[in-house]
Structure 1
Amino acid sequence: MASALSEESDRTLKVLHVDDDPMNLRVVQEILGAYGHLAVMAASGPEALSRLSTERFDLMLLDIHMPGMTGLEVVEALRARAGAERDTPVIALTADIYSRRPAEYLALGFDDFVSKPILVTDLMSAIRRHTTPAHVKLARTG
């Protein structure tokens, strides 16, 4: 898998993955690690927002259904901030594919959507869409 990454980018990404399920955190950490990326895990929305206040991330993977503070509430709070972290690309992760269409997640402030169970190809395609130099350039100028 790492060879596929090296063909596309030699940059290691720092990804914040937010999920209340320890098994989901572990699986995504393994996937990202196999591609040479660093996964920083957070088990709740408040923990994620706290980390975003003090650390820079290339991307956030955010579970939608979490107790206490949902992924929707996290992305709303993030986008309302004044700091640079408000522009962090956020990919929604959820097994609930029936309550909203992917386009609705975009309207709510997410940059992309990946359904669970996570397929490696879907996850890595979504990550590439939001971390390639062309996307970063468009985000800064657009």
Structure 2
Amino acid sequence: MEEELHVLAVDDNLIDRKLVERILKISSCKVTTAENGLRALEYLGLGDPQPTDSLSTNSVMKVNLIITDYCMPGMTGFELLKIVKQESSNLKEVPVVILSSENIPTRINKCLASGAQMFMQKPLKLSDVEKLKGHVLNYRS
């Protein structure tokens, strides 16, 4: 039996986030969502959680894949990618996929050069997830 893929989906748009979550669940992935880059970092144990925050570092679960929107207020998907891929990060091996509604080649190249596994156009489709799962499972073996 193959290991269930645990995906962290990050998007500031609720509808986009729900869409990604639904497609991933149809593809039998475990999904955790975050509404912005800072929440994603907290979840991953890389942020500065507030002392009163219920997200303690002990609750950090292993994710196998991060899917993040590129354009978000506060912290872009690109900034999140850079933090996850830092040398000091214990998550730098986790594949990061960037989603964007804009097809801007310089942006795509910048993300891929900074360690993104893939760059995909919104909206995410079921066929994209199947392709992704293949990529991630190959990436891990």
TM-score by length of 2: 0.81
1:136 paired residue among 103, 120, 140: 140
Cross-structure match for 2:22: 30
CA contact (8 A) 2:8 2:31 kept: yes
d(CA) in 1 for partners of 2:97, 2:33: 15
- Alignment match of 1:96 (pick from 85, 89, 102): 102
Structure number with higher relative contact order (C-alpha < 8 Å, ≥ 6 residues apart): 2
**Which residue is 2:74 aligned to?**
68
Among the aligned pairs, what percent are the same residue? 27
**Could you tell me whether the CA contact under 8 Å between 1:92 and 1:114 is conserved in 2?**
yes
Whether the 8 Å CA contact 1:114–1:126 is kept in 2: the answer is no
Secondary structure of 2:82's partner? Answer: helix
Deviations 1:3-39 (A, max 9, x none): xxxxxx7321110000000111111111111121111
Q: Which sections of structure 2, spanning at least 5 residues, go unmatched?
A: 46-59
Q: Could you tell me whether the CA contact under 8 Å between 2:84 and 2:92 is conserved in 1?
A: yes
SS in 2 for 1:100: helix
CA distance, structure 2, for counterparts of residue 36 and residue 123 of structure 1 = 10
The 2-side partners of 1:101 and 1:79 are apart by 17
Unaligned 5+ segments in structure 1 are 1-8, 138-142
The number of aligned residues is 127
- The question of 1:42 aligning with 2:23 is answered no
Structural RMSD (CA) = 1.8
Q: Determine which structure has the larger helix proportion and give its number.
A: 1
1:99 Cα deviation (Å)?
5.1
